[in-house]
Amino acid sequence: MVNDERLLEGLSDRDFRCGFSEAVKVSLLKSPEFFQFLTGAAEAIAAREQPQTSLAIRESVLLHLWHITCGGDPFELQQARPLDFGHWSAHKLEAITKYRLRHGEAVAIGVAVDTVYSHLQLDLPRSVADATLKTLLGLQLPIWDSALNESVIFDGLEEFRQHLGGELTITLLKQVGQPIDVHTIDRGAMREAMAYVAENATSAVG
Ligand SMILES: [Zn+2]
């Protein structure tokens, strides 16, 4: 795995920030402590400040590595792939925007929607959903895009189900560090989650 931080210096601010949506994702799946750190350090990381940036990269790489090596399923043969949290809608969004959105930006939006949905349908506290939106915005990542609408989301869900071979499995959150697989998505709650994220995206502008 390449983890030479000098490589990062050549990245534009936009590409640099994109990597941190995966850090937010893995913190939500695995580490309340890391999530808390990112919540406090988001603005500093967006400004590429040290030591917050290096700490975030190191922890993110370690958590991804730990999952791959110690997660009991190194080749992700199980149907549910927890590291894909927030990704089912992200893949659809990347395609529908013809890759105007970078992967990391689409993942930020997907994580935002799935975290709010987890609050509405599971036990995830509202404070965690709100902190997630705030952290992504602090990292100067988008949490919403004008290309996103109900048909994109529900078509994406159906395509993802077919991609999985017929049974839908989506990783959501019961708590920070407690992912759970679900096999159905409630459309009303998903609409509500989308509306909530969209509203927070616009209220944060300006
Ligand atoms: Zn990804």
- Please answer whether residues 136 and 111 qualify as being in contact, where contact means their C-beta atoms are separated by less than 8 angstroms: yes
- Please answer whether residues 116 and 196 qualify as being in contact, where contact means their C-beta atoms are separated by less than 8 angstroms: yes
Task: Name the residue among 38, 29, 103 with its Cα closest to residue 67.
Answer: 29
Residue 74 has a pLDDT of 58
Over its length of 206 residues, how does the chain's per-residue pLDDT go in tens digits? Answer: 445 667 778 899 999 999 999 999 999 999 999 999 999 999 999 999 999 999 999 999 999 888 777 766 655 555 557 788 999 999 999 999 999 999 999 999 999 999 999 999 998 999 999 999 999 999 999 999 999 999 999 999 999 999 989 999 999 999 999 999 999 999 999 999 999 999 999 775 44
Instruction: Please write the tens of the pLDDT for every residue from 10-23.
Output: 899 999 999 999 99
Cα(88) to centroid(ligand 1), Å: 10
**Token match 């409630």: residue?**
186
Q: What is the DSSP letter of 49?
A: -
Instruction: Please write the tens of the pLDDT for every residue from 93-113.
Output: 999 999 999 999 999 999 999
Cα(39) to centroid(ligand 1), Å: 20
Residue 206 has a pLDDT of 41
Cα(186) to centroid(ligand 1), Å: 24
Q: Residue 174: helix, strand or coil by DSSP?
A: strand
Task: Name the residue among 23, 103, 33, 99 with its Cα closest to residue 63.
Answer: 23
Give kind and range of the element (H or E) at residue 167.
none
Cα(151) to centroid(ligand 1), Å: 22
Q: Residue 83: helix, strand or coil by DSSP?
A: helix
Cα(182) to centroid(ligand 1), Å: 20
Report the distance separating Cα 159 and Cα 91, nearest Å. 10
Instruction: Please write the tens of the pLDDT for every residue from 120-139.
Output: 999 899 999 999 999 999 99
Cα(121) to centroid(ligand 1), Å: 24
